[in-house]
Amino acid sequence: MSTTRHFRYSALLALPLIVAGCSSTEPSDAPASSPAATSSSGTTSAATSSTESSALASSPESPTTSTDPKDTAGSAPAGFLGTPSLADQPLTQAEGAELVPVAVRVGSHEGYDRVVIEFTGPGKPGWYTQYTNSPAAQASGKPVAYDGATALVLGIEGTPWPSTPQLQQQYAEFTTYPGAGAVTGVNFVNAFEAQSQFVIGLDRQLPYSVTFLEGPPRVVVDFQTS
């Protein structure tokens, strides 16, 4: 057999193997579709003012701190801000904040109760939360009295210490503000080293969220009641 004929014969034998190799299926590298990201939206204020409620609907919102799925409650009611959770939130840092607390309001809505802490001044606050039956005042460590079965401690970072007459005049009063619904009251405990402390009394432990809104600047705590 000549060299040319031998080459052609070998090529014919190899052809089925090449075809078989090309017909095998390779795994696709296309990414799997992922669930749509959920963003918290909404607005805030005490529920008692219809004018303020309508204004809230158009206010921008900063996302709340993310939570572990195992701590997340069921679907939030309409109007609830963020994702309800029972988990404590670790301290987040303020961003250029010089926010003076000027008002505390509480409102009860269908499916949730809302605490609003309003500020004047620039920047974005940081905060932490902690559920406890024995809240203590920052700095002194003294017990803080509250009505109810449990309390949520809310520390807001980025609030100047009221060290001047002007700031003292602007600051909301350090006192207990009336509650509504499951919220038995809100105790504005003190301001110390750029952090304001609030103790929110509750008749039971409830899933909640914390949200910062602007126009005016305010921190909103929503408690899911159903």
User: What DSSP string runs through 136-201?
Assistant: B-TTT--B---SSSEEEEEEEES-----SHHHHHHSPPSSEEEEETTEEEEEEEEEETTEEEEEEE
Who contacts 157 (Cβ-Cβ below 8 Å, separation ≥6)?
Answer: 91, 92, 93, 94, 97, 125, 126, 127, 128, 194, 195
Architecture of domain 50-224: Sandwich (2.60)
Mean pLDDT by 10 residues, the chain (226 residues): 42 38 34 32 36 38 38 76 98 97 98 99 98 98 98 98 95 98 99 97 99 98 98
pTM for this one? 0.70
Report the pLDDT value the prediction gives residue 75, as an integer from 0 to 100: 80
The predicted pLDDT at position 200 comes to 99
What pLDDT, on a 0 to 100 scale, did the predictor assign at position 7? 38
